[in-house]
């Protein structure tokens, strides 16, 4: 992989990781258009590793929140009264909610990296999950906030999150935000929960790929381009996070839903015309 492609893919990852439009789907599409084999072990590892850059951006952006939640959780382990703190419950929620995606990732790792990376799967998931997002975004009575999050809420959001690696195109953030909206949280809270739930899952996935597929990256894409793409995704993702939180504070998710539908239709058209292969 040349450096231009690495920068381009880093930008794509940084922009799309936290938007409900599927970062994996976009990366696969761009990789395909650039002539790469998207189910190649080196490319699948590259796609997972560069997500770490975006996740580090989220950690930096939400650092004060992460420290506050961690302190409350550790304090609650020792002090019964401290367990009344909603941050203590949120800490447990993030832990419990991260389990489903970890289980799915390990059980279906082979299919996720090969069969399920089909462009037909991506197009179908983009279109079908847009209906789910449309319904969730129009659910009445969404007035719950971060202090109202329970472990049960987090587990349900985690179960939705586990769908994302199985069907690239659903979007991890799209799945978790939809779950949060269905649970009655306002748009900003649902979006913030999506960030918190994604940090453990994506850090673990990226680290696992870096350790287990390091030789594939070295022999294929190369660690130089991988590190460049990761650094670029960090910078771009930080700006994307700030923009998204500001956007959802006063807007619906309709524009993202329309974009998903258009992209899904375009992919189907390209596949049927034979301009790209599945």
Q: What does the block give as tokens for 166?
A: 């199985």
pLDDT tens digit sequence for 229-271: 999 999 999 999 999 999 999 999 999 999 999 999 988 998 8
Give Cα 124 to chain centroid, integer Å: 18
pLDDT at site 112: 67
Summary mean pLDDT of the chain: 88
| CB-count exposure of residue 233 (10 Å: 0-12, 13-18, 19+) | buried
Do 6 and 231 meet the contact criterion of CB atoms below 8 Å apart?
no
pLDDT at site 113: 63
Place of tokens 């880093």: 10
pLDDT at site 5: 94
210 pLDDT exceeds 80? no
153 pLDDT exceeds 70? yes
pLDDT at site 6: 93
The mean-pLDDT minimum among 7-11, 93-97, 230-234 falls in: 93-97
Sign of the CA dihedral with 14 first, then 101, 182, and 133 last: positive
Instruction: Map residue 139 onto helix, strand or coil.
Output: coil
Nearest Cα residue to 55 out of 256, 241, 189, 213: 241
* CA-to-CA separations, 210 to 45, 74, 107, 145, in angstroms, rounded: 7, 29, 19, 36
- The H-or-E segment that residue 178 falls in is helix 172-182
Is the pTM higher than 0.85? The answer reads: yes
| SS3 sequence of 26-45 | HHHHHHHHCCCCCCCHHHHH
In the DSSP assignment, the letter for residue 185 is B
Q: What does the block give as tokens for 76?
A: 């609650």
The mean-pLDDT minimum among 56-70, 101-115, 186-200 falls in: 101-115
Sign of the CA dihedral with 151 first, then 174, 140, and 192 last: positive
Find which of 8-12, 102-106, 169-173 is predicted with most confidence, using mean pLDDT.
8-12
pLDDT at site 233: 95
Do 175 and 161 meet the contact criterion of CB atoms below 8 Å apart?
yes
């Amino acid at each position: 992989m040349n450096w231009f492609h690495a920068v381009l893919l880093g930008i794509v990852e940084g922009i799309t990781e936290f938007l409900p439009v599927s970062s994996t789907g976009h990366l696969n599409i761009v990789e395909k258009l650039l002539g790469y084999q998207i189910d190649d072990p080196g490319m699948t590892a590259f796609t997972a590793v560069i997500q770490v850059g975006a996740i580090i951006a989220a950690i930096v952006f939400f650092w004060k929140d992460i420290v506050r939640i961690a302190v409350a959780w550790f304090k609650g382990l020792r002090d019964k009264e401290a367990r009344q703190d909603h941050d203590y419950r949120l800490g447990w929620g993030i832990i419990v909610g991260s389990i489903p995606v970890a289980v799915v990732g390990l059980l279906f790792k082979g299919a996720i990296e090969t069969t399920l990376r089909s462009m037909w799967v991506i197009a179908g998931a983009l279109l079908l999950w847009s209906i789910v997002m449309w319904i969730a975004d129009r659910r009445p009575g969404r007035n719950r906030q971060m202090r109202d999050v329970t472990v049960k809420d987090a587990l349900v959001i985690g179960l939705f999150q586990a769908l994302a690696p199985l069907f690239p195109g659903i979007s991890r953030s799209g799945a978790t935000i939809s779950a949060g909206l269905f649970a009655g949280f306002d748009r900003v809270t649902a979006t913030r929960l999506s960030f918190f739930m994604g940090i453990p899952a994506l850090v673990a996935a990226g680290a696992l790929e870096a350790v287990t597929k390091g030789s594939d990256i070295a022999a294929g894409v190369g660690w130089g381009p991988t590190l460049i793409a990761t650094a670029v995704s960090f910078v771009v993702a930080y700006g994307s996070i700030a923009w998204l939180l500001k956007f959802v504070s006063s807007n619906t998710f309709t524009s993202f839903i329309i974009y998903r539908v258009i992209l899904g239709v375009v992919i189907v058209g390209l596949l049927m015309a034979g301009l790209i292969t599945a």
